[in-house]
Amino acid sequence: GGNFWRGRSSKNIDRTKADQIGMLATVMNCIYVSEIFRSQGMMTSVLTPFECGDITKLYSKDRSNKYFSRNMVVFFAGGTGHPYFSTDTATVLRAVEIDADEILLAKAVDGVYDKDPRDNPDARKFDRLSIQEVIDRKLQVVDMTASILAMENKMPMVVFALQEKDSIIHAAHGETSGTVVTADAT
């Protein structure tokens, strides 16, 4: 949603309303991607933490597990449904709730660096590091709330570049050239 909505920094928009607009943007994005998957013959569902009429279904762990048992691709949209919580936090929360094996984080860069590689050509990329190292070094993988939630629940993450061809497929098969962020010390 953040790529769609950057208005929260505007002094004319209340933070709660800005966050709600961002949540709705994630719903639109998920519906769009869901339809792409559906056009390829996959069964999909978009789950949200708030009612969206007939467009999405209301999230529950039981409902998502039911869809997974039917081999459906499930999209979790709308963040946590509450302002002041990032989509990073919502991602980790849903992954923990559904007992995911890991979180795949598609980003604008191809992994985790010691500083922003877009602004610093001397930035050093990490192949592997722990969530604790991410926190200690203040690396911008996910926000602090999401990092702590992932660490407390031993939820690993794989960070990779979205722009690379078939990057999501490669990451899902453990074939990424990105960064593996482990739940335990490396």
pLDDT at 178 over 70: yes
What is the model's pTM? 0.86
Query: Are β-strands 73-76 and 57-58 bridged in parallel, bridged antiparallel, or unpaired?
Result: unpaired
Contact 18, 7 (CB under 8 A): yes
pLDDT at 183 over 90: no
pLDDT at 185 over 70: no
Mean pLDDT of 142-164: 92
Q: Is 120 left (phi over 0), alpha (psi -120 to 50) or beta?
A: beta
**pLDDT tens readout for residues 56-93:** 999 999 999 999 999 999 999 999 999 999 999 999 99
The pair of structure tokens assigned to 109 is 């860069």
Name the pLDDT band for 170 (thresholds 50, 70, 90): confident
Contact 181, 129 (CB under 8 A): yes
The number of CA neighbours under 13 Å toward the Cβ of 11 is 0
**Ramachandran angles phi, psi of 51, nearest 5°:** -65, 135
| Three-class HEC string of the chain | CCCCCCHHHCCCCCHHHHHHHHHHHHHHHHHHHHHHHHHCCCCEEEEECCCECECCEECCHHHHHHHHHCCCEEEECCCCCCCCCCHHHHHHHHHHHCCCCCEEEEECCCCEECCCCCCCCCCCEECEEEHHHHHHHCCCCCCHHHHHHHHHCCCCEEEEECCCCCHHHHHHCCCCCCEEEECCCC
User: In order of start, what are the domains of the chain with their CATH numbers?
Assistant: 1-85 (3.40.1160.10), 102-186 (3.40.1160.10)
Query: How high is the pLDDT of residue 8?
Result: 54
**pLDDT tens readout for residues 113-130:** 999 999 999 999 999 999
